[in-house]
Amino acid sequence: MCGIIGVSNHEEAAKVAFLGLYALQHRGEEAAGIASYDGKDIHITKAVGLVADAFDERSLGALKGNVSIGHSRYSTTGSSNVKNVQPFLAMHRNKPLAVAHNGNLTNTETLYKRLEDEGAIFQTSMDSEIIVHLLARMKNGDIKDRFISVLSQLEGAFSLVLLVGDMIVGVRDPQGFRPLCLGKLGDGYILASETCALDLTKAEFVREIEAGEVVLITGNKIESFFLPEKPNRNKSFCIFENIYFARPDSNIFSDNVYQVRKRLGARLAREHPVKADFVMAIPDSGNYAALGYSQELNIPLEVAMIRNHYIGRTFIQPSQFMRDFRVRVKLNPIKTVLKDKKIIVIEDSIVRGTTSRSRVEELRKAGVKEIHMRISCPPIRFPCFYGIDFPSQSELIAANKSVKEIADFIKVDSLEYLSLEGMLSVVKASKDFCHACFSGRYPVPISTTQGKYLLETNKTTGS
């Protein structure tokens, strides 16, 4: 997953993009980059690491111009190296052409082969680079028709912010997998993955970019049009954004993430109640569902694990060693609260099961008597091909074990998941959501050769 931002018509466009990326840090902690354009020169800074570390006063000061785009990266296609940091920038007809992409294309291989046959030379292993190659091939003519002809060739998940000369372009794929919103800032506009970025930059929320919409922003002028709909395709907003990915203070898919998570917890309580001394969350991801669960059953909520805020999200670091280390160092249980208690532990989801297992082990060490774990979504049994790093089925614990076997692996006294119907019942327009990771019903066809490293050894990457 990734965070993307675009700023138009602001004299400190790059600084605004920096603040926006700061707010979007949770969407990707591997790398960050900002490109800006001053009408004459293009400026770009990219680095591996957190947003706060990737830029300093000097590098931000050098990013001149009143348009900029930025990206914070969590790789879902292509490995985590400097070459694959976005925005991806090229010069075309003396003008900059840069892309910041959130999501994964599903027809990468076909497009890649076609472009290579036409003589394209690729610099990265990111699927996002394909978009730049296609844009560079746009024929002359009406700008709207040109964008439609290029973007209609893409399949899968793509929320994009592009810098094309002095124009900023926002795009959301016709299924609308990933969020993208529009804000007004002074005399210009800002595009961002989530509304929390508007809050930090003091921009005023205008609206969400709709599924299939393209907005062209030049200065303070904005034009919008839609990509043609593909037959038999519904909207497919990613339900996992609501469960885990997005920030709770953001509004996405016409709803507030915090409220959705609380409703997931309340529904979970109705589906799988249990009597206990108290409810607690695995922080921070389980906090809001735990609140909903506790309020629904009138069972007290305790904050019995303290999070070390100087450590990032555990799954972001791709190697297993780093993940394990981060899992251990991140949370610390409070023994005096936990000793001899029967507790309900709420987690937003279980992916590999390693975090949950180690948390339970720590709770046991703290003297807990009984642990009843409740999960605010159904078992994740299928990989995601649209931008979340649920890679292969072999790594997904629920693809390989029954709920009872998972409970034994995690070593809890009981384990229950929210049902698919229950999960969908708490969001508005539930038929507009993608739930492929739970149901295996993929709304956009996927290729069997797809994968994070498709464009390495001559293959693809995403974000």
Q: Which residues bind ligand AMP (CB under 6 A)?
A: 244, 285, 315, 347-356, 388-390
Q: Catalytic amino acids? A: 2
Q: Given the complex with ligand AMP, which of 197 and 412 has the nearer CB atom? A: 412
- DSSP string computed for 325-345: HHHHHHEEE-HHHHTT-EEEE
Q: Given the complex with ligand AMP, which of 338 and 351 has the nearer CB atom? A: 351
* Least distance to ligand AMP, CB of residue 128, Å: 19
Sheet holding 278-281, edge to edge: 278-281, 342-347, 370-375, 414-417
Query: Dihedral angle at the C-alpha atoms of 34, 39, 42, 44, nearest 10 degrees?
Result: -20
* Least distance to ligand AMP, CB of residue 282, Å: 7
C-alpha separations of 241 from 181, 219, 387 in Å: 14, 31, 11
* Closest alpha carbon to 238 in 353, 385, 65: 385
- Strand 414-417 and strand 370-375: pairing? parallel
Q: Note the helical H segments in 76-194.
A: 108-117, 128-136, 143-151
Q: Given the complex with ligand AMP, which of 86 and 354 has the nearer CB atom? A: 354
Distance CA 320, CA 451 (A): 18
Q: Given the complex with ligand AMP, which of 213 and 347 has the nearer CB atom? A: 347
- DSSP reduced 3-state for 266: helix
Cα-atom radius of gyration of the chain, to the nearest Å? 22
Contact 2/161 with Cβ under 8 angstroms? no
Query: What token pair was written down for 4?
Result: 């993307």
* Closest alpha carbon to 68 in 27, 106, 96, 108: 96
What amino acid occupies position 449? Answer: T
* Least distance to ligand AMP, CB of residue 354, Å: 4
Contact 26/14 with Cβ under 8 angstroms? no
Distance CA 418, CA 270 (A): 10
* Least distance to ligand AMP, CB of residue 138, Å: 34
* Least distance to ligand AMP, CB of residue 395, Å: 8
- Give the residue carrying structure tokens 């929210």: 418
For the chain, helix, strand, coil in percent to 5 are 35, 25, 40
Q: Given the complex with ligand AMP, which of 395 and 432 has the nearer CB atom? A: 395
* Least distance to ligand AMP, CB of residue 63, Å: 31
- Give the residue carrying structure tokens 């023994």: 335
What amino acid occupies position 398? Answer: A
Q: Given the complex with ligand AMP, which of 25 and 349 has the nearer CB atom? A: 349
Burial state string for 156-166 with b = 16 or more CB within 10 A and e = fewer than 16: bbbbbbbbbbb
* Least distance to ligand AMP, CB of residue 389, Å: 4
* Least distance to ligand AMP, CB of residue 314, Å: 6
* Least distance to ligand AMP, CB of residue 65, Å: 35
- DSSP string computed for 366-377: TT-SEEEEEESS
Query: What token pair was written down for 99?
Result: 């892309």
- Distance between start and end Cα atoms, the chain: 5
